[in-house]
Amino acid sequence: MTDQNFQQQLAEHRKEIDLCDKQIIEALAKRMEVVEKVGVLKKQHNVPPLDPSRWQQVVETRKAMAQQLGLKPELVGAIWEIFHQYALELEAKV
């Protein structure tokens, strides 16, 4: 493989990664829009932002999805923990 061929392939793969990242960020933005709606609904019905049983279910199902797709469940669990903390903050602000 020539250096030029390598650089071209690398650029193509990086472009694909950039597209994946864009899609992930767009999906996260959509998710946060829905989280805000959930927060408004919970506030209207005097329900606290944290539902421990729901959170446990979410973590377990997302880790299982990750494992089925060949990803480390711990990675997805850590990412979802960050999502969850942000979602709780967002729900508390509405």
Q: What is the dihedral of CA 82, 70, 14, 28, to 10 degrees?
A: -30
The pTM assigned to this predicted structure is: 0.86
DSSP states along 38-85? HHHHHHHTT--S--HHHHHHHHHHHHHHHHHTT--HHHHHHHHHHHHH
The pLDDT of residue 13? 99
Domain ranges of the chain: 3-93
Calculate the CA dihedral of residues 18, 22, 28, 32 and round it to 10 degrees. Answer: 140
The whole-number pLDDT of residue 1 equals 79
State the pLDDT at residue 92. Answer: 87
Superfamily of domain 3-93: Chorismate mutase (1.20.59.10)
Mean pLDDT in runs of 10 for the chain (94 residues)?
A: 93 99 98 96 96 97 98 98 95 88
